[in-house]
Amino acid sequence: MRRPAARSRAIGGRASPRPSGDRPSEFRSAGGHTCPPVDWPALVAAARAAAAHSYSPYSHYAVGAALLAADGAVFSGCNVENASYGLTNCAERTALFKAVSEGRREFAALAIVGGTARSPALPCGACRQALAEFCPPSMPVAVAPLRRGEPVVRPLGDYLPFSFELSR
C-alpha cells in the first residue's frame, strides 16, 4: 500500500460522489447480474474492523479492506507486512484472494480504510491490477480514513484507467 501525497478531500482534484446512507447504490457486475445495494457505513465498518488485525510492524501503517461480492457476502482483509518488503500483501488483495479462494468471481463494491482524511490509503498498482482481473471499471470503490470520517467513492476505472488485459 503506498502512501499518497497530501491532497484535497476530492481525490485527484475532482469532486467525488459521496455515499448516501439513505440511498443504497445499485450496481451490475461484469457478468450482468444485479448486485445488492451497497450499505457503505457497514462496508466501511467491516474494513475498519479488518484494519485492527493489520500486521504492520515496519511501516506502522494499518490498512483494511472489505469487498462486497455480488451475492452479498463480505470478505475483509488487512495488510500483512514482511521483513522482505516484496512479500508484503496489501489489504485489498487479501480480501480479494479470500473471496476468490471461496469461489466468488463477481463483486459489487470495495471499501478501503487507512491513512487520514487529508491523505487516505489508495490501492497500489498491484492491487489495482488484481482487482481489474475480477471487477469492472464501473465498480464503486470507497476510500476512507482509518479512524473516522466519510468515504469518498469513485469507480475502479478511475484508479486504473488502462488496465492490462489478455484475451481469454
Q: Cα 144–25–119 angle (5° rounding)?
A: 15
Residue with cell 502512501: 3
Active-site residues, by number, are 92
d(CA 148, CA 132): 28
The answer to whether 102 and 67 have CB atoms below 8 angstroms apart is no
| SS3 assignment, position 73 | coil
d(CA 33, CA 35): 6
